Structures are given as structure tokens and as C-alpha cells.
Amino acid sequence: MTLEAILPPERTLFAVPGGSKKRVLEFFSTFIAQNTPSLDSQEVFARLIGRERLGSTGIGNGVAIPHARSPHCSGPVAAFLKLAEPIDFDAIDGEPVDLVFVLLVPEEADDTHLALLSQVATVMNDADTRTRLRRSTTQRDLHDTLIEAIRRQGS
């Protein structure tokens, strides 16, 4: 299972209104439930918030990787949000977040979950990739830049 396979262009969102961590997670939960009939927005939101209570998924450098398991997820689901304005995400470095990579996996997907999280972290830890994502000016450009970075990391 690769990130590229679970991140279609329509789940790469550009200039998403931020406001707060809670609003961003609510936005994603509503968005993903509208696009994935088996998922309920309230349940997705509750799981993401529950995970954040264990510790922030803000990994630093303006990046957050909110993730959760869901019994209603038949396979891994990813989305990438470039926020219109950086928000406080309680990141480990204290910096505001503007790049958010969200990952939902089935309840039992231990190895898959860890492998996908590792792939996301590797891609998002690359300073050049982050700069290019921030310079993207369209949804298509954002998705192409992200897929190119995922492919580069995988080779």
C-alpha cells in the first residue's frame, strides 16, 4: 500500500480555511464523510480528536499528520490540506501549522498504519518538498508536487 494509491487529486485541498485545530479536523471529518459513504463525520472527528488528546500530531516545521483508526474504514484513506493561514496545532516545535496530511486506517491495520505514517513523515520532513508545497498556487499543482515527492522518496 502506497501513499500515492490512497491520495487521489480530489483529496488534495488548497487554501483550506483554518482557524483552529478543532475546525480543521471538523472540516476534514465532514469532507471525508461526504466522499466515503461508510464513514460518519462525527465518528471520524471523535477519533481524530481522541488521538490528538494523546499528544499533538504537529511534527514541526509547519506540518501536522493527524491520524486515527476507524472500524468503518475498509482501507486506508489519506487527504492533504494546505491551509489558507497557519494555525496553532500544539506542534512539538511550537510553530504554527499550514500543511496537514490526514490519515485514516482500518481498526486492525497495524503494519499498514505504521508504514503509511512513516512514508508521510519522510516526505514531509524534506525541507525542499515543504517549500514547493507552500509555493503551489493551484490544487493540481499541490497534488502533482506531493505525488512527485512521494515517488522521489520511494525510489
The residues spanned by each domain of the chain are: 3-150
**Over the range 21-56, which residues count as b (16 or more CB within 10 Å of their CB) and which as e?**
beebbbbbbebbbeebeebebeebbebbbebbeeeb
Q: Which CATH architecture has domain 3-150?
A: 3-Layer(aba) Sandwich (3.40)
| pLDDT > 70 in the chain, percent | 99
Q: Give the pLDDT confidence score for residue 2 in this predicted structure.
A: 84
Residue 133 CA to residue 80 CA, distance in Å, equals 11
CA–CA distances in Å: residue 124 to residues 2, 46, 59, 63: 15, 25, 9, 7
Q: Which of 67, 72, 113, 143 is catalytic?
A: 67
| pLDDT > 90 in the chain, percent | 82
At 77-87, the pLDDT tens digits run 999 999 999 99
Residue 107 CA to residue 104 CA, distance in Å, equals 9
For residue 101 the three cell numbers come to 496530511
What is the average per-residue pLDDT within 90-107? 95
Q: Give the pLDDT confidence score for residue 38 in this predicted structure.
A: 87
Model confidence at 153: pLDDT above 90: no
Known active-site residue 67:
yes
